Amino acid sequence: MALLLACVARGQTNFTYTSGTLSTPVPDGNPIGITESTTTAGLLGSVVNVQVHLDITGGFNGDLYAYLAGPGGYTAILLNRSGVTAGNAFGYADAGFNITLDDSGVNIHNYESTFNPGGAQLTGTWQPDGRAIDPQSAPSLFDSTSPTALLGGFDGYNNANGTWTLFLADLSAGGQSTLVSWGLTVVTVPEPQTWAMLAGGAGMLFAFRRRGIR
């Protein structure tokens, strides 16, 4: 009852997943990469926000490519060889990420323009890369491509229940990255008719409890 009332009060449903410690090595210089998945259930209505947390240690950040695929078929590009530009064909040499990816942040691709971790893990909240191009593209293409494949592409989806898959690959040899853990938060808002049913049902239950009806 308390959980139902809390959902009604917020007008939204939430799914939060944390993988726990994985410590999975990412194959160095191998586009096959690794995949990790989780399955959402109990989400009502349309997606209004998606966040991803990544904890990656070691390696070379400019080598990494990652995406999140949702149950509806959409794919958000989380990392796409951070720092690769026409003037830097190899990208950033910092070792790892301990970040939250949310569209409200500053785009992560050129993160050293606003925050330089000095070779250590990048931290903080960042907008996903969103560049929907082959990670092996010419460096100049990263300069001319806009971030369009963001997490906001999931917004409005009514099929949030199902399998969400994280893909992570290291595309250039040299340095070993490890996926320590990852997390996913999906927030939905019920459709108007669903919201009315939830609110009405919660109200009736509350009234019955006050009258002593069991």
Where are the chain's structural domains? 2-210
**Cβ distance 78 to 66 under 8 Å?**
yes
Name the pTM for this structure.
Answer: 0.85
Q: What is the 3-state secondary structure (H, E, C) of 18-45?
A: ECCCCCEEECCCEEEEEEEEEEECCCCC
Instruction: Judge: domain 2-210, CATH 2.60.120.260.
Output: yes
* Terminal Cα-to-Cα distance of the chain (whole angstroms): 13
**Cβ distance 170 to 64 under 8 Å?**
yes
The string of pLDDT tens digits covering residues 61-96 is: 999 999 999 998 999 999 999 999 999 999 999 999
**3-class secondary-structure state, position 57:** strand
The string of pLDDT tens digits covering residues 150-187 is: 999 999 998 899 999 999 999 999 889 999 999 999 99
Q: What CA–CA distance (Å, rounded) separates 65 from 57?
A: 14
Over residues 196-211, mean pLDDT? 46
